[in-house]
Amino acid sequence: MTLFGKQSVTEPISAMVRKGRMAHGFLLTGEKGVGKQICAKYIAKSIMCENLQDGVPCGACRQCRRIDEDVHPDVITPERSGKTLVYSAETVREMYDDAYTMPNDCDAKIYILPDCESLQERTQNILLKLIEEPPEYAYFIFTAQSKGTFLPTILSRVITLGIPECSDEECAAALREKGKFTEEQIAEAVGAFHGNIGRCESCIDGEGLEAAQLCRKIVGCMAASDEYGLCTALNEIGESRDKVRDILGMLDKVMRDVCAARLYGENADRKSVV
């Protein structure tokens, strides 16, 4: 199986599998939609696949399929709780106890903890005990937008892999492979969100497209010194934090492009929506 544009993740993992020296703890970092969860599943498949080829999981055997369908009994994703959706100390303590129970029907047990933003220090200290001396069969995969949220003691015990965006072409190929989008939709989404496959998908599903159009309007008003238009466009963003974050993120890339164009001319690498 292939993951588009993720060689910087798949190659070191395959090397560990080939050498029979798989690490027990991973931290995958990168912005929302970039593919952290898919990479976490790739690592799980690399550990459990029944039909590895040169260290690469097949993506088709019983184990790989159950991981893809989120029904593998030995691949566990603990629940987050509370208003801010964090892993509570209690949840991590339960995971600690569970980790010392043998796997159900594999030789491995894998815990995937997505979106580990805002993990409290005392929760991390319980985690630390677990990843310091894990049972031989247990593996832990954490994902977060940045590694800044983790204690240095945790970071020193996991392999941190930054998940890169793919190129526009790889992203378009990945969207095409899903077989549910038209070429026009793919072009529009990649034009707005470039190599971020997750964001391109949600853009086509509606939520991101409106943000991209609004971003274009804001930039147009700024370029035309249209203060009234700018105020109207900013007002249209509304109160959704996610939408504000999305648009600010896009504007940030526009500013980057403007600076690059100013310094290096029109041929500078463009990554923004306009």
Binding site for Zn ion (CB under 5 A): 49, 51, 57-58, 61, 64
Residue 44 or 171 having the CB closest to Zn ion:
44
Shortest distance, position 51 Cβ to Zn ion, whole Å: 5
Minimum CB separation of residue 67 from Zn ion in Å reads 9
Q: Which two tokens stand for residue 15?
A: 């090397």
Residues 6+ apart with CB under 8 A from 11: none
- Least distance in angstroms from the C-beta of 135 to Zn ion: 23
Residue (49 or 200) nearer to Zn ion, CB = 49
Q: What residue spans of the chain are helical by DSSP H?
A: 7-19, 36-48, 62-68, 89-99, 121-132, 152-155, 168-177, 183-193, 197-204, 207-223, 227-236, 241-264
Reduced to 3 states, what is the DSSP secondary structure of residue 269?
coil
Which H/E stretch holds residue 76?
strand 75-76
Q: Which is nearer to Zn ion, 60 or 223 (CB)?
A: 60
Closest to Zn ion by CB, 58 vs 244, is 58
Identify which of residues 87 and 139 has a Cβ nearer to Zn ion in the complex: 139
CB of 108 to Zn ion, least distance (A): 13
Q: What angle do CA 77, 130, 70 make, to 5 degrees?
A: 15
Please say which residue, 67 or 221, places its beta carbon nearer to Zn ion: 67
H or E element: which one contains 25? strand 25-29
Contact between 250 and 272 (Cβ < 8 Å): yes
Q: What is the dihedral of CA 41, 247, 212, 254, to 10 degrees?
A: -100
Nearest approach, Cβ of residue 61 and Zn ion (Å): 3
| Least CB distance to Zn ion at residue 90 (A) | 34
* Residues whose CB is less than 8 angstroms from the CB of residue 209 and which lie 6 or more positions away in sequence, other chains included: 188, 189, 192, 203
> What is the smallest separation between the CB atom of 74 and Zn ion, expressed in angstroms?
14
Looking at beta carbons only, is 72 or 199 nearer to Zn ion? 72
